[in-house]
Every structure is written in structure tokens, then in C-alpha cells.
Amino acid sequence: MNITPELLALGLVWYVVFLLAVTCHEGAHGWAAKLGGDPTAFHAGQVTLSPLPHILREPFGTVVVPLASYFFGGWMIGWASAPYDPLWAERHPRRAAWMALAGPAANLTLMLLATVAIRVGVSVGVFSAPPRPSLMQVVVASEPAAAGTLAAVAILLSILFSLNLLLFLFNLLPVPPLDGATALTLLMSEERGRRFREFTQSFGILGLIVAWLVFGRLFGPLYWLALNLLHPGAGYR
């Protein structure tokens, strides 16, 4: 790969958005757990908007994998984690389910904030729908007269929208160990929820592989649907 100043600058934007996304995601998990009676993440310093505690806890998922995925794939993916008390989750499966949903909800919130900013920019004439969006990179373009800083803002909002859409949808898959599987216990009695959690705890990396294979088929259509909702009448496909 030819490493240029433009590539490095775009990578910096990607990394800032990635850290914001995972920090809000994991911080929301910890905050919801604290509200539900488990202060483990709070005492570990994970209920924060500072990315440093999350980087120190998961340096591989927050530094190595995101940078490698960017330089080899052109976009970033990775992970972080917030600690919780498994005994608390076993005693209170419904509270644990709300804790699980808090992470994707944080990503949805960030995506919606990006959506509002994009729509405001379009309405005042500084942004426009691109002729053909690029996957995960450009979902809004700056007008020629709005170059420089606004062009950089358009790129930042594009990545903020796309990455948080991806994290929101992926984590909601009802496949263990993803948040969506834990959230299923809201539809069960507490006893069935406990048994379900016990059954799914052994899935680990196998569940993640299955989830990624399934998600690869689902994300494309959902992504284009989201873009058509973002830019009504664009007719992307």
C-alpha cells in the first residue's frame, strides 16, 4: 500500500471516530450496569468518555486491529470491553439485558446525531448527496463552494454515520456472544433467561465467526436502505 499524507489524515479521522464509537458503546454498558446495581465497570474507570481506560483494557482490539484493518482494508473495525459481575448478571438477567442494549443504543445515538448534522448541512446548501456513495467512506459530499474545513467535516460525518450504523446493526444480531443475544432474555422469564445465558456462554469466537458471516449478507442491503433514508429520492442501490 502506498502510504500518503492523505491516507494518514483520513486514517486519523477514522481512528478518532472509532475511539468515540467504542468508548460510548462500552461506557454505556458500564453506566447501565451501574444503574442496575453492578458498579464493577464504574469502579474500574470504564464509565467514562475518555478512551484511555478502554485502550489500556483492550489494546489489541482498540489499537492493533483498527489500524491493521484500515491499512489493509480501507476502513476500521475493532472492539473494547467493559467488565461486569457475572454473578450479578446471573441473578438479574433482565438487568443484564438492558446493560447489553445500552451499547448499541449509544451507537444508534451517534448515528442519529450524524444524520441530523448531515440533513442540516444539506438544507443550508453546504452538503449534498454524492452521485455514488462509497461503502463506509463517503455518504455526504460538500458543495464545491464549501471546500476546506467543511469538506473535512463531510468526511467525518460520513464515517460517523457509517461506522456507528455498522456497530449498531452488528451488535444487535441475536448471536452469542453479541449484545443482541443477551437482549433476547428480555423476552423470557428470569429462569429461562438464566438458562439461556448459561447455554450461550460457551459460544465465544465461534459465535463471532458465524455472526460475521451472516452479517456480511445482511449489511449491504441495510446500508443502502439507510442511505436512501438519509438522502430521500437519491435511489441508491
How many other C-beta atoms lie within 10 A of the C-beta of residue 66? 22
Output helix, strand, coil percentages for the chain, rounded to the nearest 5: 70, 5, 30
In this predicted structure, the answer to whether residue 146 has a pLDDT above a threshold of 60 is no
pLDDT tens digits, one per residue of 134-144: 766 678 776 66
The DSSP line for 46-78 is -SSS-SHHHHHH-HIIIIIHHHHHHHHHSS---
Q: Grid coordinates standing for 46?
A: 470504564
97 Cβ contact partners less than 8 Å away, ≥ 6 residues apart: 182, 183, 184, 185, 186, 193
For 15-37, what is the mean pLDDT? 97
pLDDT tens digits, one per residue of 162-181: 999 999 999 999 988 899 98
In this predicted structure, the answer to whether residue 66 has a pLDDT above a threshold of 90 is yes
For 19-40, what is the mean pLDDT? 97
